[in-house]
């Protein structure tokens, strides 16, 4: 049963002006390292990660705040390069609340030109 769906669209150029401090506050060390491996598209990778975070929060029915911090939702990649969500802290607690601890979280990210988009579906299994 699907218990949450979220989508987000982000302009990649939004991340051009972000300071290193702001990026370090929002993104994990692994995300920043991943983006830095492709300097020509670093902002696009960060936009992808941001869109995925926002889509996840929408699927969880919440936002960033007292219960869920920036580090509670992050993106990693499996061995094949497919993006995956990592949920910790408040985000993980909210997921458990929605699914009684039996969840599948699906993430799809795409980008074209100066836009990044992500969709998250939370399924109670």
pLDDT at position 39 over 80: no
**What integer is the mean pLDDT of 48-61?**
97
Per CATH, the homologous superfamily of domain 2-124 is: 4'-phosphopantetheinyl transferase domain (3.90.470.20)
**Residues pairing with 6 in the sheet:** 120
Looking at residue 89, its pLDDT comes to 96
CA distance 14 to 115: 10
pTM, two decimals, is 0.93
Percentage with pLDDT > 90 across the chain = 80
């Amino acid at each position: 049963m699907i218990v949450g769906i979220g989508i987000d669209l982000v302009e990649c150029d939004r991340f051009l002006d972000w300071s290193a401090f702001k990026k370090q506050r929002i993104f994990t060390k692994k995300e920043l390292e991943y983006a830095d491996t492709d300097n020509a598209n670093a902002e696009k990778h960060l936009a992808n990660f941001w869109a995925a975070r926002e889509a996840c929060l929408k699927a969880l029915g919440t936002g960033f705040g007292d219960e869920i911090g920036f580090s509670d939702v992050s993106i990693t990649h499996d061995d094949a390069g497919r993006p995956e969500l990592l949920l910790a802290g408040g985000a993980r607690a909210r997921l458990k609340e929605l699914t009684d601890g039996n969840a599948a979280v699906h993430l799809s990210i795409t980008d074209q030109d100066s836009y990044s988009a992500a969709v998250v579906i939370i399924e109670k299994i």
